[in-house]
């Protein structure tokens, strides 16, 4: 029974929100973007946070090629603010490490859907500065996978029938 419930519930769970974080790094390297997104069940609300893996549009120029950032919703005046933390990378052209920090948080009047732009600075004192964008949008409707559904339902049926047959043979 637990396996049957697990299979039934897994088919009902789908992402409802796509949360995106994007940094314009043009001040450091023309045309460079650091961005990523995650799928969430619910929009981020005040006090919530999520980790987002970010990749560079030109990964050969940066190290590491993937950076993990934490996006949080904090209380701001007059609106909720989207802040990031833990964004650090090395620009290989000058072999310098840059730590991005919020310098003018992105905020939304409405938490969902939301597209907001905020400011950041690299290092202190600032080596350069730029903008970051946060987007919360509805995920597209999920596409059903009938081949997996058939396989899983066949497996569950086999397990249930096999167990019942085993009980009959034992009696």
Q: List, in order, residues 6 or more apart from 63 with CB less than 8 Å away.
A: 89, 90, 92
If asked whether residues 47 and 118 sit together in one domain, one would say: yes
If asked whether residues 33 and 87 sit together in one domain, one would say: yes
**pLDDT value of residue 151:** 53
Torsional sign, CA 158, 161, 165, 167: positive
pTM above 0.75, yes or no: no
If asked whether residues 150 and 121 sit together in one domain, one would say: no
Whether 103 is covered by a domain: the verdict is yes
If asked whether residues 51 and 96 sit together in one domain, one would say: yes
Between helix 2-12 and helix 146-170 the angle, nearest 10°, is: 170
Residue 68, SS3 per DSSP: strand
If asked whether residues 126 and 161 sit together in one domain, one would say: no
Whether 12 is covered by a domain: the verdict is no
If asked whether residues 29 and 79 sit together in one domain, one would say: yes
CATH number at residue 123: 2.40.128
**pLDDT value of residue 111:** 65
Residue 149's domain comprises 2-7+145-170
The closest of 49, 55, 60 to 82, measured between CA atoms, is: 49
Q: List, in order, residues 6 or more apart from 97 with CB less than 8 Å away.
A: 88, 89, 90
Which residues does residue 23 pair with via DSSP β-bridges, in sequence order? 34, 132
Whether 97 is covered by a domain: the verdict is yes
List per-block mean pLDDT (blocks of 10 residues) for the chain, which spans 171 residues: 44 72 96 96 90 96 96 86 93 96 88 88 96 92 53 61 62 63
**pLDDT value of residue 3:** 44
Q: List, in order, residues 6 or more apart from 103 with CB less than 8 Å away.
A: 119, 120, 121, 126, 129
**pLDDT value of residue 82:** 93
CB contact at 8 A, 55 and 34: yes
**pLDDT value of residue 86:** 83
């Amino acid at each position: 029974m637990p396996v049957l419930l697990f299979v039934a519930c897994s088919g009902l769970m789908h992402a409802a929100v796509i949360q995106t974080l994007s940094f314009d790094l043009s001040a450091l390297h023309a045309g460079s973007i650091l961005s990523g997104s995650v799928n969430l069940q619910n929009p981020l609300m005040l006090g919530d946070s999520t980790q987002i893996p970010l990749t560079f549009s030109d990964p050969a120029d940066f190290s590491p090629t993937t950076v993990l950032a934490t996006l949080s919703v904090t209380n701001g005046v007059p609106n909720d603010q989207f802040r990031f933390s833990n964004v650090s990378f090395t620009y290989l052209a000058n072999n310098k490490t840059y730590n991005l920090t919020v310098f003018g948080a992105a905020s939304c009047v409405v938490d969902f859907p939301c597209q907001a732009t905020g400011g950041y600075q690299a290092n202190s004192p600032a080596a350069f500065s730029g903008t970051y964008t946060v987007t919360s949008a509805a995920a597209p409707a999920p596409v059903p996978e009938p081949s997996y559904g058939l396989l899983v339902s066949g497996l569950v049926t086999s397990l249930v029938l096999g167990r019942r047959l085993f009980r009959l043979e034992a009696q």
